[in-house]
């Protein structure tokens, strides 16, 4: 395919790069990448060795020593050029994301646009890395805080957003003065290799240090473990499952490292009896089936007031009937495949379990077969009438399953149902009642990191901080003041007088 050639993807690819050089190790195992779109092999990736990892990380550490000396606006200029390069290659990179991961082409292109947007944001941020001045209780003293670069920022990304999450982290990390070490998902490593190839020319043109943008693709049991334990990496940003995040956080904490964790979501949309269903139904459908349900912000639970329950159910069934499932590179299709056959098995298992617990499947659930679905990874999105307390409803199944849940009382009952899971990423309410909306946004309302009114649970903009609470991890990426996580904070006090008064009026006379 032409887009593979354009992005420098070869039949055989290597798994470690410092931005300028690739380490040509071949004896650590090979990953055969097969597209969930058509079941055809795309390319091979040779996994890197522990020795490769050590050399790449050493280069990243050296790059940091240089990069922290560069003024932040000049760092921003490099990120501006990255955004320009992404604009130039938006179409082929979006096609690769769609083909390797399986999301629709529109979503693939949207993911590249997200990368471009965060680069633009980071360029402006490079001139706004502000501190804060405080009033000192001691005369002729000035106090302020400032922020300094951290070092190497380790970025571990998941298959469902194979490039955007790297950009969320690296664009901001770079203007903050850090070097970046990326470990992508072994399910979608070609997207990472393509980005690394695009960066190579910029690194040469700007005479940037080798190791500023590095990549390692290797076994979790070896390279992955070294990544988590490595004291040279003061911050690890990890996107993945809650189970993986718990283990990683414990390891990083033991060495007093910092972590940004973007883990599981079990997101709910509340539809009250005062909702505008013309807004609500399209938002729920996109939130539930976008990326074939493989977003951390996917709408998984729909909590509907009994007075509009039947009307919402009918509208959903009509909308789902019109969904087109098929090749994601065909822009006429709404839903692509799941990432692999393992994900299909999880989809089937969850539906079997919810029925056993008392749920009723009212749409979908089939695994699609035929020449248009030859990869075996296509399913028909499912709607299930269920109750919030079901064990399977309490879990996150990374697949297009929407649980339809009824409530009877006021909005607080609906909020309690929404909050009654261990995850706390995204949430949404549809209502035209100001009091219901404000209850939802109050301190006793949604307990999620993201709470929306009259829009869905997915599709966050880069200007706001992204992340969640509880078992979602508590980290924040992208906008607002998330940049502070990529820097170390320092409080400074300057005495410009001729005396040495102590704080709190303490006397210490010699």
pLDDT computed for residue 460 by the predictor: 87
148-167, pLDDT tens digit by residue?
999 999 999 999 999 999 99
Catalytic residue among 55, 262, 436, 471: 262
Q: Is the dihedral of CA 43, 48, 53, 54 positive or negative?
A: negative
**Annotation says 396 is catalytic:** no
pLDDT at 410: 97
Mean pLDDT of 361-373: 96
Q: Token pair for residue 427?
A: 């949430």
Each residue of 92-123: pLDDT tens digit? 999 999 999 999 999 999 999 999 999 999 99
Q: Which residue has the tokens 């990890």?
A: 238
- Positive or negative: CA dihedral 173, 174, 178, 184: positive
- Band the pLDDT of 509: cuts 50, 70, 90: confident
Predicted confidence band at 1 (pLDDT cuts at 50, 70, 90)?
Answer: confident
Q: Of 119, 296, 377, 448, which one is the catalytic site residue?
A: 296
Q: Mean pLDDT, to the nearest integer, of 358-375?
A: 96
pLDDT category of residue 144 using cuts at 50, 70 and 90: very high
Mean pLDDT value across residues 185-201: 97
Q: Quick one: pLDDT at residue 188?
A: 98
Q: What is the mean pLDDT of residues 280-296?
A: 98
Is the entire prediction scored with pTM above 0.85?
A: yes
Q: Is the pLDDT of residue 212 over 90?
A: yes
**Rounded average pLDDT over 218-231:** 96
Q: What percent of the chain has pLDDT over 70?
A: 100
In 3D space, the residue among 378, 245, 388 whose CA is nearest the CA of residue 324 turns out to be: 378
Query: Using 50, 70 and 90 to split pLDDT, how confident is the model at 510?
Result: confident
Q: Verify whether residue 262 is a known catalytic residue.
A: yes
**Mean pLDDT for the stretch of residues 254-269:** 97
Taking each helix axis from N to C end, the angle separating 164-175 and 105-125, rounded to the nearest 10 degrees, works out to 10
Mean pLDDT of the chain: 97
Mean pLDDT of 410-428: 98
Query: Strand ranges (DSSP E) for 47-166?
Result: 132-134, 141-149, 152-156
């Amino acid at each position: 395919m032409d887009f593979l050639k354009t992005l420098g993807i070869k039949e055989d690819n290597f798994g470690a790069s410092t931005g300028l050089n690739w380490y040509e190790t071949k004896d650590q195992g090979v990953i055969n990448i097969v597209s969930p779109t058509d079941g055809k092999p795309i390319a091979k990736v040779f996994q890197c060795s522990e020795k490769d990892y050590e050399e790449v990380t050493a280069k990243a550490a050296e790059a940091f020593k240089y990069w922290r000396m560069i003024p932040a606006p000049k760092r921003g200029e490099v990120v501006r050029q990255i955004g320009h390069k992404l604009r130039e290659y938006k179409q082929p990179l979006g096609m690769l994301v769609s083909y390797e991961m399986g999301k629709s082409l529109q979503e693939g292109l949207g993911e590249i646009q997200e990368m471009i947007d965060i680069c633009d944001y980071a360029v402006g941020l490079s001139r706004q890395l502000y501190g804060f001045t405080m009033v000192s209780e001691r005369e002729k003293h000035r106090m302020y805080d400032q922020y300094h670069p951290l070092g190497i920022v380790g970025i571990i990304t998941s298959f469902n957003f194979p490039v955007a999450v790297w950009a969320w982290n690296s664009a901001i990390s770079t203007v903050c003065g850090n070097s970046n070490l990326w470990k992508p998902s072994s399910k979608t490593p070609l997207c990472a290799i393509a980005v690394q190839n695009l960066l190579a020319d910029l690194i040469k043109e700007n005479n940037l240090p080798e190791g500023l943008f590095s990549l390692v693709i290797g076994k979790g049991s070896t390279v992955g473990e070294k990544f988590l334990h490595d004291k040279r990496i003061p911050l690890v940003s990890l996107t993945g499952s809650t189970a993986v995040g718990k283990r990683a956080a414990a390891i990083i904490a033991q060495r007093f490292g910092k972590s940004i964790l973007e883990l599981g979501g079990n997101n709910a949309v509340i539809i009250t009896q005062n909702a505008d269903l013309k807004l609500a139904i399209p938002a729920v459908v996109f939130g539930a089936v976008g990326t074939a349900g493989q977003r951390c912000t996917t709408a998984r639970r729909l909590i509907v007031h009994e007075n509009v329950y039947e009307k919402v159910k009918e509208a959903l069934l009509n909308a789902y009937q019109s969904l087109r499932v098929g090749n994601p590179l065909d822009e006429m299709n709404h839903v692509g495949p799941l990432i692999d056959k393992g994900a299909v098995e999880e989809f089937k298992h969850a539906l079997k379990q919810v029925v056993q617990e008392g749920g009723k499947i009212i749409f979908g659930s089939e695994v699609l077969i035929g020449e248009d679905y030859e990869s075996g990874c296509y399913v028909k999105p499912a709607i299930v009438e269920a109750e919030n307390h079901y064990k399977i409803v309490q879990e996150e199944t990374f697949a297009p399953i929407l649980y339809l849940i009824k409530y009877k009382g006021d909005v607080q009952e609906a909020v309690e149902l929404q909050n009654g899971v261990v995850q706390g990423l995204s949430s949404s309410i549809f209502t035209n009642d100001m009091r219901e909306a404000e209850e939802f946004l109050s301190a006793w309302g949604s307990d999620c990191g993201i709470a929306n009114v009259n829009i869905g649970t997915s599709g966050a903009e880069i200007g706001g901080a992204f992340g969640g609470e509880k078992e979602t991890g508590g980290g924040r990426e992208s906008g607002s003041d998330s940049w502070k996580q990529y820097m170390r904070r320092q409080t400074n006090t300057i005495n410009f007088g001729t005396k040495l008064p102590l704080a709190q009026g303490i006397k210490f006379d010699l």
